[in-house]
Chain A
Amino acid sequence: MRALVIDDSRAMRRIVGSILEDFGYEVRPAGDGREALDVLEEGYLPDLACVDWNMPVMDGLQFVSAVRSNPAYRSVALMMVTTESETSQIVRALAAGAHEYMIKPFTADAMRDKLALLGLLPQEVSL
């Protein structure tokens, strides 16, 4: 399983990345939406992208829209991982094409639950 972790905070990239690695993922970090699109364009196709919302250069919502408008990336599950927590914002992200939405702060258990919802929790992991 491969995941792209997109956040402008390196601490958050490490936190999300290490949780996913504990669930058996290979993780590629990216500091904003543009950088993440570059990773996709060079041919790295992850099973999952965890995307922050507020980032410089290209924000998470723009990234989600860009990915969903390209049929080549249809297999990538998109999960917003953000501190934006109003109902209207969650609705916007889902409408743009996000499959799931995690509100910061969150625990490793919450990440496991979300992966299970997306059908992306490797079977051998059951803590």
Chain B
Amino acid sequence: MTLTATSFDWVRQLVHKESAIVLQPGKEYLVEARLLPMAQQRGLTGVSELVESVRNRPDAATTRRIVEALTTNETSWFRDGDPFTALTGTVLPSLVAGRRPEERLNIWSAACSSGQEPYTIAMLVSDALPDAARRVSITATDLSREMVERTRAGRFSQLEVNRGLPASMLVRHFTRAGNEWEISPTLRRMVTTTECNLAAPLPRMGPFDVVYLRNVLIYFDMATKQGILRRVRQLMRPDGWLFLGAAETTLGVDDNWERVVLGRGSAYRPRKGN
């Protein structure tokens, strides 16, 4: 056990602040087990060294990974269903009606993690549009090279496909590959992957009709949030749609967005005249 009491306490407070989840004393083994791979990946000897390095040099990306590692085992498919219901219920029909048939629809999954979000989008649009493979292009980006590679591979463990993927979609869009499940080649071809740091100048991409930027802003300070929202807006079509995480908003951060209520959730659209 290399985890010091101070490190454990710091992690507890962080996780509580960001997720409202309480790590009881005695859960040191859990922190150790979940964070050790991340420490080793960074060439550190233990979890306490990882915590020390983040405390000395605050780093939103690493902080986010720490919280994620402790709060979820696997990313869910259709995570917080509302932004996906809105995609097929409102956003896609309005985009299809407003664009010429030969115009491509560009969707950006801006923090794609291990790929559940971009492939959820791919499944939905391929069920909703007969010519989805030709018509829709999905760009999946993440800060982490490992996550980008996982998304590109499109392979998921048994535990991952159990997380909120409807069984009917599993059998339609995946095939077994050893003890993993592999997304169908048609859907994988719709998704282009690349590394991207949202807190820095963005690569040439887009313009996007829809952007999923969920559970990213919460980890950054106000100035960085504003910078991210500004750069994302520059890559969006004027009539595009932005989806944020359930606990996130542009209100009070960046006035250049208009909030639109869609079903039980909401989306944000670039405000006209900016």
Contact = CB atoms under 8 A, between A and B. Distances in A.
A and B touch in the complex (CB under 8 A): yes
Interface of A: 85-87, 90-91, 93-94, 98, 100-103, 105-107, 109-110, 113-114, 116-117, 127
B256 to A, nearest CB: 31
A100 B196 CA distance: 36
A109 B167 contact: no
Interface stretch (B10-18, B70-78, B130-138): B70-78
Interface of B: 21, 72-74, 76-78, 81, 158-159, 161-164, 166-168, 170-171, 174-176
B73 A90 contact: no
B158 A114 contact: no
B127 to A, nearest CB: 15
A117 B164 contact: yes
A102 B170 CA distance: 11
A60 B211 CA distance: 43
Given A90-B171, A100-B167, A110 B162 contact: yes
Given A90-B167, A90-B170, A117-B164, A109 B158 contact: no
Contact of B168 (A94, A102, A105, A114): A94
A94 B175 CA distance: 17
Q: Is the interface of B mostly helix, strand, loop or mixed?
A: loop
B157 to A, nearest CB: 11
Given A90-B170, A109-B72, A103 B81 contact: no
A24 B248 CA distance: 28
Contacts of B167: 90, 93-94, 98, 100-101
Contacts of B162: 102-103, 106-107, 110, 113-114
A107 B171 contact: no
A91 B170 CA distance: 10
6 contacts: A94-B171, A101-B167, A107-B73, A110-B162, A114-B162, A117-B166
Nearest to A87: B171
B164 A114 contact: yes
Contacts of A94: 167-168, 171
Given A91-B171, A113-B77, 8 more contacts: A85-B158, A87-B174, A90-B171, A94-B171, A102-B162, A105-B159, A106-B159, A110-B163
Contacts of A102: 162
Contacts of A113: 76-78, 162-164
Given A100-B167, A116-B81, A87 B158 contact: no
A86 B176 contact: yes
Contacts of A90: 167, 170-171
Nearest to A80: B167
A117 B171 contact: no
Contacts of A103: 158, 161-162
B78 to A, nearest CB: 7
B159 A110 contact: yes
Nearest to A85: B158
B81 A107 contact: no
Given A87-B171, A90-B170, A116 B159 contact: no
B159 A87 contact: no
A93 B167 CA distance: 10
Contacts of B73: 107, 109
Contacts of B174: 87
A32 B176 CA distance: 29
A86 B176 CA distance: 8
A93 B170 CA distance: 13
Contacts of B176: 86-87
